[in-house]
Structure 1
Amino acid sequence: MAQTDVDSRNAQFWDELCGSGLARSLGITENTPESLQKFDHAYMGMYPYLQPYVTDEDLAGRKVMEIGLGYGTLGQLIASRGCLYHGLDIAPGPVAMMRYRLEFLGQDLGDRIRQGSALEIPWPDASFDCVYSIGCLHHTGNLPRAVAEVHRVLVPGGKAIVMLYHRHSLRQVIQIPVRYVRDRLSGRRRFASFGEAARAYYDTNAQGEAAPHTDVVSRAQVRQSLFRQFSRVRIDSQNFDTYVLLRGRIVIPRERFLNNLARVLGTDLNIVATK
């Protein structure tokens, strides 16, 4: 698929806010401050390991950018830490949501929340002390270029805090192939190819359609290729799936795997890289 097609499809697909499925499960139908607080509480309850990537950083007075804004939970947390927050998303919906959230923080937004591509970040070289991108860059269609752009806009000594999907996760290695074969054998062929079915295991919209593009990476790829231009790289895997076995008679919640098996075979690679 041509890059222009990926960009166009991403802008359409991600206009439905990432996290909309969680919002629907919570019965959230409007974006009041109370509803967003309810969403944020549930989101951070699902991904408790994300908060320290914000609260453990000294962001006060720093210029910080987030790429991939979604429902805005992490962005609002970052912006509340006393930094000069900037946001970038390829779709208009997340941009509007982040602007809406930051109005409640009383921030003068100017043009700091922009619609645009991570492959052509619309800020000059060495603009930011820290760049966050949780679960976004692997959807761009050109992951090496996206990481290079993050490196470009960081000041020397600046940090990139990035989540990418893990090639060697239990989901990727076992669950997705098993599920695909099982569905094919049973005659359920919702997706035209294995690649599309795999993408759907990670991200779908309200219509059940898979994200247009998804990359998965290994730790070695992160260190030896994608982030090799950074001076220091730290990687931690997290996130896991809930397992339902014996037709529902045994349910093992995902929380039991966090901070143990998820640290080895987790779905996500959380990367902290210093320029």
Structure 2
Amino acid sequence: MAPTAAGMPQRAVQGAAGTIADSQTQDYWTDFNVTLHRRFKDAQESLDFFHWRNDQYFGYIQRMPVAGFDGKAVLDYGCGPGHDVIGFANYSAPSRLVAADISPSSLKEAEERLALHGKAAEFVQLDPAAMNLPFASDSFDHIHSSGVLHHMPNLDLVMTELRRVLKPGGTFNIMVYNYDSLWMHLFVAHHKQIIEKTYQGLNLREAFTRTTDTETCPIADCYTPQEFLEIAQRNGFQGVFTGAGISMHELLIAPTRFAAIQDQKLPRECREFLLALKTDEHGYPTYNGHLAGIDACFRLTKIRA
């Protein structure tokens, strides 16, 4: 049963107005980041962690590659503590590598980590109160934004600005949270709301926001592939859903979907999603021909004006 746009967060249907972020978002991502402020002793430990973390999301790195961008000007938008910056610096030879984020602590960690590899990049702290990104129009051949845009209070504004700084013919790879996932329809809907009896007063999307980047994350939206492509199109992009990465957590709980289907308390929408799952050659669950994982990935280009 396909989710409808009526369930989308209101932020996702606003016009391109306001600022690129807000102080609450900046404060949260300064206190918390995806590596939990981990420091690395040397380049090998950093690289080992890069590969380990990617392996926790099967199919992710194939859809959000960091190799193959030799000679390109690359922007990692929302770089955090530099996980993918390490990938670009080690597996591509970009002519320019820019790492941008609103969090000063994460940028510092990213710069220190990259220095272990003897590599360089431009580190840019974004002003959450700004209405524009601090880059000239048509600056980048490729933009990479992984796990960032679903945290934006003004998604349309950010998308409009990213379109402005992307060169004609450039590419834009995005990962955002996937509504069509085991995380949503099994972990949130059954494990959290029914078995653990948490977030029972919240709808599915609201409960989802409490389960990803800690309970206090200000914004953690999710989208069906169709929803996000519609957002991209209205902001001047065209593109495709390239598939999803599925987390090891989702794979570990996947066998419990049969018990969830039997549970009369599970919402019909979630039951029908679980019933529609198939498996690929690895035995991993798929939905509509794609892995049924939390990481929805897209490849966009900007529509010429």
Smaller-chain TM-score range? Answer: 0.7 to 0.9
Cα distance change, pair 41–235 in 1 and its aligned pair in 2 (3 A): closer
Length-normalised TM-score, structure 2? 0.70
Residue 114 in structure 1 maps to residue 131 in structure 2: no
- In 2, the alpha carbon distance for the partners of 1:165 and 1:124 equals 29
1:201 is paired with a residue of what secondary structure?
Answer: coil
Residue 168 in structure 1 maps to residue 180 in structure 2: yes
Maintained 8 Å contact 2:79/2:85: yes
Please report how far the alpha carbon of residue 140 of structure 1 lies from its aligned counterpart in structure 2 after TM superposition.
1.1
Which of residues 39, 50, 53 in structure 2 aligns to 1:40? Answer: 50
Please report how far the alpha carbon of residue 7 of structure 1 lies from its aligned counterpart in structure 2 after TM superposition.
2.0
- In 1, the alpha carbon distance for the partners of 2:283 and 2:72 equals 35
- In 2, the alpha carbon distance for the partners of 1:67 and 1:168 equals 24
Stretches of structure 2 that go unaligned for 5 or more consecutive residues are 1-9, 12-17, 257-281
Cα distance change, pair 202–54 in 1 and its aligned pair in 2 (3 A): same
Letter in 2 for 1:131: I
1:232 is paired with a residue of what secondary structure?
Answer: strand
- In 1, the alpha carbon distance for the partners of 2:284 and 2:78 equals 24
Please report how far the alpha carbon of residue 105 of structure 1 lies from its aligned counterpart in structure 2 after TM superposition.
3.9
Residue 82 in structure 1 maps to residue 87 in structure 2: no
Task: Provide Cα deviations, 1:55-110, integer angstroms capped at 9, x if missing partner.
Answer: 553x111110001223422111112311111011111122112211232343454x
Name segments (4+ residues, structure 1) moved above 6 Å. 1-4
Query: Relative contact order (alpha carbons < 8 A, sep ≥ 6): 1 or 2 greater?
Result: 2
The aligned residue for residue 274 of structure 1 is 301
- In 2, the alpha carbon distance for the partners of 1:199 and 1:260 equals 23
Aligned length: 249
Maintained 8 Å contact 2:82/2:111: no
Residue 141 in structure 1 maps to residue 165 in structure 2: no
Cα distance change, pair 269–244 in 1 and its aligned pair in 2 (3 A): closer
Please report how far the alpha carbon of residue 48 of structure 1 lies from its aligned counterpart in structure 2 after TM superposition.
4.9
Stretches of structure 1 that go unaligned for 5 or more consecutive residues are 24-28, 247-255
Cα distance change, pair 77–219 in 1 and its aligned pair in 2 (3 A): same
Length-normalised TM-score, structure 1? 0.77
Cα distance change, pair 149–96 in 1 and its aligned pair in 2 (3 A): same
- In 2, the alpha carbon distance for the partners of 1:171 and 1:44 equals 18
* Within-5 A mapping of 1:49-198: 49-52=59-62, 53-55=64-66, 57=68, 59-80=69-90, 81-83=92-94, 84-109=96-121, 112-116=122-126, 117=128, 120-178=132-190, 179-184=192-197, 193=202, 197-198=207-208
The aligned residue for residue 13 of structure 1 is 28
Task: Provide Cα deviations, 1:240-275, integer angstroms capped at 9, x if missing partner.
Answer: 4121768xxxxxxxxx66584582532121001122
Maintained 8 Å contact 1:18/1:71: yes
